[in-house]
């Protein structure tokens, strides 16, 4: 058996990411690994590739159990891992990339490029693809790069190939082609562990399925012996129907906070949508469904948009963040580290940066006013520690997110519509509860509105009044009241966006 | 996971980080004064201090806006040539009989125009500021030499007076430099703009998404730097009594960068203090003056100045990296451990 994992356990800072996981992969099988975000998939792969050291348990490739791998010994044990983010050098040729770090050298120390090209060609032939080994990697499509990664892995003649969401960045046709190539590799005797979010893919190419949830194996089954419902329930065992907090209250009185008609933006639309006063509306979708693009377009990040947007009954054309803010529209973007936190600046600056002129005057800051606003907001948000001058870097992820959300909750200018893209990305349960409370409180006062995206059904159930499911840039379902279950949401999103991804 | 509150530790860490570089430099400036005073009896005279101030003034006027540019993550390498352009334009106009004030203003306007072009190229085309202003460095020097193929001199007395005159014992040029520092310090400390400049340097995308008009601010900084460089050109022309287009301000951009980085401004952006820049300018000015008094050959002085910059940048790196410098300076107590503090209030979730 190419891979046997027994009782693998790994904790981060007291929290178990993997809790006694067993996994068996037989020769010549494609094994799909599924699970919601944070279920331990990446940790498991990290241990198998030697990037992480497990706390307990053993792994065996080809029969010899070891307690840990290093990246080198993993390779020696004939395991090759392909990550979501490519490790290719774009300016080098395909052949140079395949042989990077393990070049063929002639006597005298010169590269034997002819031999490298020939062997690269052979590897690509084995995959059944037509790529010129001399082409620079930068000239290839994403799908072709993926195949070059696989060719690079095959060069080490692995018995087990591990792929971490290989189709996440691919279009539908490329994803199908990749599936066929993987089946081809399996038929030649290779074992493949395949991480994915896509049920469609699982049923097309996998032989066996393992679902992780909360660091444990929630389901282990042959593909032939299961169906979509069983897998969905293993991923999100929310059980029965869930009453949303405001059941099916009609959108309340008068003009909505936001109304979209035939709204179009790159990758989005046409969309009709309405956020009533005091409402918290979820846009649930998989990765690539257009959920982030919708919010970004409303904030004015994507240039021209089509259709009509009305804000509190007045026409609104999203053009740029500073203009949107002047109309009371604010966005908390999805990628905290890259798009919202100023790691080296103090907490108070992170929270109040857009409001300095409003707290004082455009030409003179009021430091006392800033401290007062910070203290008040930090207290309301239970920011820990509430130290104005500590750099954002020294805060935990959850508290950094509070600073960023607090940026708009502390606002002196009136924010009427808050857009939240994955509001609780990478933060722990306690901080999540705090944020949900904050956001609900925000919407409830002064009849404001909140539109947020999430790929986590539990989050949607905890926060939303109403759920819109988005797939391929369009809204495909509206769920309200007692019809909302995690399963229903996932089912809608998967059905409509079969080749899109959580 | 419980979250403890390292209030005091965090505040101390922040304080030390903020002040370590400036403190080291302050000690350096004082030490330099002591050394030169000991070596040379002429050093500690009012006349000599007046010289130091006059000689440092041009540097100071450009160092302030350059510091802001660096903090915002940009740089202007063209200031040496823009300085020459400002001096040459003003000098030519004076020699054509124009009155002093309009001649100076037009000279500054010429530099402002270069700043506008730099700013547009950087913000609209998103070319690297290094490339844009490297091009301007060469092109503007050529422009200055075209306008005045021969050195411009023989200025009216009133103009030359500006270069070495004084009011209440303080040279005019030193007053201009003081004004530059004052404005810079106030903008950075009390204007919302100051915080925005830091934010742009730390994370331009987050700044943009927070509604800060990043391009407008960067553009403004280039314009102000161009104007300041040209003004420094008129000041230098007044002091020297001539404006040689080929050599005026040659290598000036490197001197400005040396002073600014010496003053603890991060070349990578996001960090720096105007007070540090003041110390950096003074340190360079005193060093140059003292070495001249000691008859140290110009070639040796260059080596000393270059070495100082690298040592200063290294000390700054040490202080930011490990708080090592702070401990060294205070010579007391256990080392603050910022990394540990980060772990105490950190969490596993995001790093998995």
**A277 and A220 both lie in a single domain:** no
Burial call A194-229: b when 16+ CB within 10 Å, e when fewer: bbbbbbbbbebbbbbbbbbbebbbbbbeebeebeee
Residue A78 lies in a domain: yes
Q: Which of the four pLDDT bands, split at 50, 70 and 90, describes residue B351?
A: very low
Which of A184, A210, A235 is the endpoint of a domain?
Answer: A235
More confident residue, B339 or B181: B181
What CA–CA distance (Å, rounded) separates A197 from A494? 9
What is the predicted pLDDT for the residue at B21? Answer: 58
Residue B116 lies in a domain: yes
B60-88 per-position pLDDT tens digit = 999 999 999 999 999 999 999 999 999 99
Q: B residues 31-90 near A, CB within 8 Å?
A: none
What CA–CA distance (Å, rounded) separates B28 from A144? 58
- Chain B residue whose CA is closest to A14: B1
**A128 and A224 both lie in a single domain:** yes
Bridge partner residues of A248 (DSSP):
none
Residues of A in contact with B3 (CB under 8 A): 384-385, 396, 399
A393-417 per-position pLDDT tens digit = 888 777 888 899 989 987 767 889 9
Residue B104's domain comprises 45-324
Q: Which of the four pLDDT bands, split at 50, 70 and 90, describes residue A214?
A: confident
Whether A71 has a pLDDT exceeding 80, the answer reads no
Cis peptide before A270 (omega within 30 of 0): yes
A142-171 per-position pLDDT tens digit = 788 888 888 888 888 888 899 887 776 666
What is the predicted pLDDT for the residue at A37? Answer: 65
What ipTM was assigned to the predicted interfaces of this complex?
Answer: 0.76
Whether A452 has a pLDDT exceeding 90, the answer reads yes
What is the predicted pLDDT for the residue at B339? Answer: 36
What CA–CA distance (Å, rounded) separates A289 from A495? 12
What CA–CA distance (Å, rounded) separates A274 from A463? 17
Residue A440 lies in a domain: no
**A53 and A145 both lie in a single domain:** yes
What is the predicted pLDDT for the residue at A443? Answer: 87
Q: At B156, which CATH number?
A: 1.10.3470
Residues of A in contact with B215 (CB under 8 A): none
**A305 and A184 both lie in a single domain:** no
Furthest C-alpha separation in chain A: 83
Highest mean pLDDT among A276-290, B172-186, B292-306: B172-186
**A24 and A159 both lie in a single domain:** yes
Whether A241 has a pLDDT exceeding 60, the answer reads no
Q: A residues 373-412 near B, CB within 8 Å?
A: 384-385, 387, 389-391, 393-399, 407
**A148 and A106 both lie in a single domain:** yes
Total domains, chain A: 3
Convert B234-278 into a string of H (helix), E (strand) and C (coil): HHHHHHHCEECCCCCCCCHHHHHHHHHHHCCCCCCCCCCCHHHHH
What pTM does this model have?
0.75
B211 in contact with A, Cβ within 8 Å: yes
Whether B145 has a pLDDT exceeding 80, the answer reads yes
Q: What is the mean pLDDT of residues A447-464?
A: 85
Which of A235, A252, A271 is the endpoint of a domain?
Answer: A235
Q: Which of the four pLDDT bands, split at 50, 70 and 90, describes residue B89?
A: very high
Q: Which of the four pLDDT bands, split at 50, 70 and 90, describes residue A138?
A: confident
CB contact under 8 A, A321 and B208: yes
Q: A residues 16-75 near B, CB within 8 Å?
A: 17, 38, 42-43
The fraction of chain A above a pLDDT of 70, given in percent, is 91
The size of the A-B interface in CB pairs under 8 A is: 136
What CA–CA distance (Å, rounded) separates B352 from B1? 15
Q: Which of the four pLDDT bands, split at 50, 70 and 90, describes residue B337?
A: very low
What is the predicted pLDDT for the residue at B341? Answer: 35
Q: Are A162 and A48 in contact (CB under 8 A)?
A: yes
Averaged pLDDT score across all residues of chain A: 83
A317-361 per-position pLDDT tens digit = 999 999 999 999 999 998 888 899 999 899 999 999 999 988 888
Burial call A398-415: b when 16+ CB within 10 Å, e when fewer: bbbbbbbbbbbbbbebeb
Residues of A in contact with B210 (CB under 8 A): 321, 340, 353-354, 407
B219-274 per-position pLDDT tens digit = 999 999 999 999 999 999 999 999 999 899 999 999 999 999 989 898 888 889 99
Least-confidence region, from A52-66, A181-195, B42-56, B334-348: B334-348
Residues of A in contact with B203 (CB under 8 A): 338, 341-343
Averaged pLDDT score across all residues of chain B: 86
**A22 and A142 both lie in a single domain:** yes
CB contact under 8 A, A398 and B347: yes
Highest mean pLDDT among A77-81, A311-315, B285-289, B327-331: B285-289
Q: Are A409 and B16 in contact (CB under 8 A)?
A: no
Residue A59 lies in a domain: yes
Whether B6 has a pLDDT exceeding 60, the answer reads no
Q: Is A326 exposed, middle or buried (0-12, 13-18, 19+ CB in 10 A)?
A: exposed
Residue A89 lies in a domain: yes
Q: At A140, which CATH number?
A: 3.40.50.300
Residue A429 lies in a domain: no
Q: How many CB atoms lie within 10 A of CB A119?
A: 18
CB contact under 8 A, A333 and B209: yes
Q: Which of the four pLDDT bands, split at 50, 70 and 90, describes residue B327?
A: very low
Residue B348 lies in a domain: no
CA distances from B326 to A387, A404, A424, B42, B338 (A): 22, 31, 38, 34, 13
**A293 and A324 both lie in a single domain:** yes
What is the predicted pLDDT for the residue at B239? Answer: 94
Residue B290 lies in a domain: yes
Q: What is the mean pLDDT of residues A198-215?
A: 85
Pairing between β-strand B152-153 and β-strand B242-243 as defined by DSSP bridges: antiparallel
Cis peptide before A447 (omega within 30 of 0): no
Q: Which of the four pLDDT bands, split at 50, 70 and 90, describes residue A14?
A: low
Total domains, chain B: 1
Residue B242 lies in a domain: yes
Residue B227 lies in a domain: yes
Residue B40 lies in a domain: no
**A182 and A315 both lie in a single domain:** no
Q: Which of the four pLDDT bands, split at 50, 70 and 90, describes residue A381?
A: confident
More confident residue, A424 or A28: A28
Q: What is the DSSP string of A328-362?
A: TEEEE-S-IIIII--TTSBHHHHHHGGGHHHHSBT
Residue B83 lies in a domain: yes
Residue A370's domain comprises 335-412
Residue B228 lies in a domain: yes
Whether B286 has a pLDDT exceeding 60, the answer reads yes
The fraction of chain B above a pLDDT of 70, given in percent, is 85
**A55 and A97 both lie in a single domain:** yes
B19 in contact with A, Cβ within 8 Å: no
Residue A432 lies in a domain: no
B351 in contact with A, Cβ within 8 Å: yes
**A227 and A286 both lie in a single domain:** no
Which of A235, A254, A286 is the endpoint of a domain?
Answer: A235
Pairing between β-strand A56-61 and β-strand A3-12 as defined by DSSP bridges: antiparallel
Q: Are B25 and B276 in contact (CB under 8 A)?
A: yes
Residue A408 lies in a domain: yes
What CA–CA distance (Å, rounded) separates A286 from A453? 10
**A301 and A272 both lie in a single domain:** yes
What is the predicted pLDDT for the residue at A109? Answer: 81
Chain B nearest CA to A364, separation (Å): 5
CA B143, B145, B151 angle in degrees (round to 5)?
A: 145
């Amino acid at each position: 058996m190419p891979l046997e994992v027994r009782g693998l356990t790994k904790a981060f800072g007291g929290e178990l990411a993997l809790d006694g996981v067993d996994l068996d992969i037989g020769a010549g099988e494609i094994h799909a690994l599924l699970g919601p975000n944070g279920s331990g998939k990446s940790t498991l792969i990290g241990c198998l590739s030697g990037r992480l050291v497990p706390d307990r348990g053993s792994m065996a490739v080809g029969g010899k159990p070891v307690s840990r791998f290093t990246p080198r010994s993993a390779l020696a044990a004939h395991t090759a891992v392909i990550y979501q983010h490519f490790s290719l050098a774009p300016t080098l040729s395909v052949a140079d990339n395949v042989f990077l770090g393990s070049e063929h050298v002639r006597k005298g120390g010169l590269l034997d490029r002819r031999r490298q090209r020939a062997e690269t060609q052979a590897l690509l032939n084995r995959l059944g693809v037509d790529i010129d080994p001399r082409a620079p990697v930068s000239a290839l499509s994403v799908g072709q790069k993926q195949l070059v990664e696989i060719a690079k892995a095959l060069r080490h003649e692995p018995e087990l190939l591990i792929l971490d969401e290989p189709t996440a960045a691919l279009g539908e046709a490329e994803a199908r082609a990749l599936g066929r190539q993987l089946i081809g590799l399996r038929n030649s005797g290779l074992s493949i562990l395949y991480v994915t979010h896509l049920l469609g893919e699982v049923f097309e190419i996998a032989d066996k399925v393992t679902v992780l949830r909360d660091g444990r194996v929630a389901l282990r089954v042959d593909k032939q012996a299961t169906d979509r419902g069983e897998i969905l329930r293993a991923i999100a065992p929310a059980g029965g129907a869930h009453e949303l907090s405001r059941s099916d209250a009609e959108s309340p009185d008068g003009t909505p906070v936001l109304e979209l008609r035939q709204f179009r933006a790159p990758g989005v639309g046409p969309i009709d949508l309405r956020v009533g006063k005091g409402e918290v509306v979820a846009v649930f979708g998989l990765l690539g469904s257009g959920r982030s693009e919708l919010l970004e377009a409303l904030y004015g990040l994507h240039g021209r948009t089509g259709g009509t947007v009305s804000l509190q009954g007045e026409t609104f054309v999203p053009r740029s963040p500073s203009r949107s803010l002047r109309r009371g529209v604010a966005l908390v973007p999805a990628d905290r580290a890259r798009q919202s936190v100023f790691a080296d600046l103090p907490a108070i600056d992170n929270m109040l940066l857009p409001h300095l002129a409003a707290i004082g005057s455009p030409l003179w800051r009021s430091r006392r006013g800033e401290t007062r606003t910070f203290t008040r907001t930090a207290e309301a948000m239970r920011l820990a520690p509430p130290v104005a001058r500590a750099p954002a870097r020294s805060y935990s992820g959850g508290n950094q997110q509070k600073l960023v959300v607090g940026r708009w909750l502390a606002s002196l200018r009136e924010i009427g519509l808050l857009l939240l893209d994955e509001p609780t990305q990478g933060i722990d349960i306690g901080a999540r509860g705090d944020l949900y409370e904050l956001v609900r409180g925000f919407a409830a006062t002064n009849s404001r509105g909140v539109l947020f995206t999430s790929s986590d059904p539990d989050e949607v159930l905890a926060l939303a009044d109403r759920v819109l499911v988005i797939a391929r840039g369009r809204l495909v379902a509206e769920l309200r009241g007692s019809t909302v279950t995690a399963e229903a949401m996932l089912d809608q999103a998967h059905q409509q966006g079969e080749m899109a991804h959580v | 996971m419980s979250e403890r509150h390292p209030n005091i530790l965090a505040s101390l860490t922040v304080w030390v980080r903020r002040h370590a570089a400036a403190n080291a430099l302050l000690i350096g400036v004082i030490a330099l004064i002591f050394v030169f005073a000991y070596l040379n009896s002429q050093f500690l005279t009012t006349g000599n201090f007046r010289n130091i101030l006059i000689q440092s003034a041009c540097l100071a006027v450009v160092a302030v806006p350059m510091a802001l540019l660096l903090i915002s993550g940009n740089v202007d390498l063209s200031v040496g040539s823009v300085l020459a352009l400002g001096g040459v334009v003003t000098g030519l106009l004076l020699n054509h009989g124009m009155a002093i004030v309009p001649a100076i203003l037009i000279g500054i306007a010429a530099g402002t125009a270069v700043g506008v072009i730099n700013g547009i190229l950087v913000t609209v085309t998103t070319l690297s500021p290094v490339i844009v202003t490297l091009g301007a460095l060469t092109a503007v020097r050529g422009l200055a030499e075209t306008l005045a193929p021969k050195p411009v001199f023989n200025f009216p007395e009133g103009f030359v007076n500006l270069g070495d005159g004084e009011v209440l014992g303080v040279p005019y040029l030193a007053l201009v430099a003081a004004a530059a520092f004052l404005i810079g310090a106030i903008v950075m400390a009390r204007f919302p703009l100051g915080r925005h400049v830091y934010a742009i340097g730390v994370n331009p995308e987050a700044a943009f998404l927070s509604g800060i008009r990043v391009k407008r601010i960067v553009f403004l900084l280039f314009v102000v730097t161009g104007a300041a460089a040209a003004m420094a050109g008129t000041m230098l022309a007044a002091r020297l009594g001539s404006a040689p287009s080929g050599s005026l301000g040659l290598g000036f951009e490197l001197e400005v960068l040396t002073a600014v980085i010496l003053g603890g401004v991060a070349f990578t952006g996001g960090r720096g203090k105007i007070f540090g820049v003041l110390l950096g300018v003074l340190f360079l000015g005193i060093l140059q003056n003292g070495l001249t008094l000691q008859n140290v050959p110009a070639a040796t002085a260059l080596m000393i100045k270059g070495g100082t910059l690298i040592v200063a940048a290294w000390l700054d790196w040490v202080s930011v990296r490990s708080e090592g410098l702070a401990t060294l300076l205070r010579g007391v107590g256990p080392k603050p451990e910022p990394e540990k503090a980060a772990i105490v209030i950190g969490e596993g979730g995001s790093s998995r």
